[in-house]
Amino acid sequence: MAEWADDDRGVVALIFAITMPVMFLLLAGAVQYAGVTTQRTVAQNAADAAALAGMVAYGAATTPDETARQEQAIAAASRTFHSMVDSEIPNAVAAISLNKVGDTASVSVTFTIPVDFVFSSVFPTLTTQSGRAVSTASKGGRYLDVYILVDTSQSMGLGADLADQQAMMSNGSINCSLACHGPESSPSKDTVTIAHAAGYKLRIDVIRDAVKK
């Protein structure tokens, strides 16, 4: 009996058998934690980009309807967030909001990532990873009513540049640098139509093109 008690053969194997599962469990936890940390970084970067994209969309919106502007901003933020995370974290969830106080608007993005962690049953707080709210603020756009007064008098029939004016003077049907007779005022000699047919550009054409843009 004493000899059996003093026999330590196989002790190392016994210790290895007992500790090996624990070591594998710790290793699995470390690998999973690294993966979760990487996912959180990806989601955080996406949230930052989404908040900025939402603010840019809000400032660039052309509608004076405040509700529509906010909807466009939130939609832009959502598209940006999901375009950056869906391929790696398809179950990531983002809560996006836009708050406006006075002339200052703020886009806020908060994300949550469900986590299937090896220690989740022991530590329930590890079942999700949440990112802090990300926001960016900027002065809201101001809208002005712009009125454009366009001169449509006969003086606008002048050739747009010197080349057009010289060509019109050389044209026997016009003989002038000013195409001042339109179809309404002079049907028999519509110099405006003649100038256009010949490919000459008039001052009114330049103004019309600028207004259309």
Q: Angle CA(37)–CA(107)–CA(114) in degrees, nearest 5?
A: 30
Is residue 1 pLDDT above 50, yes or no? no
Beta strands per DSSP E along the chain:
93-101, 104-114, 128-130, 134-139
- The tens digit of pLDDT for each residue in 35-81 reads 667 778 888 888 888 988 998 888 888 888 889 999 999 999 999 99
Closest Cα partner for 107 from 134, 72, 146, 143?
Answer: 134
- What is the pLDDT, as a whole number, of residue 75? 93
Environment class of residue 111 by beta-carbon count within 10 Å: exposed (0-12), middle (13-18) or buried (19+)?
A: buried
- The tens digit of pLDDT for each residue in 2-44 reads 455 555 565 666 666 677 766 666 666 565 666 667 778 888 8
Closest Cα partner for 133 from 151, 167, 110, 166?
Answer: 110
**Structure pTM?**
0.50
Any residues with CB less than 8 A from the CB of 113 and at least 6 apart, and which? 36, 39, 40, 43, 89, 91, 92, 93, 128, 129, 130, 131
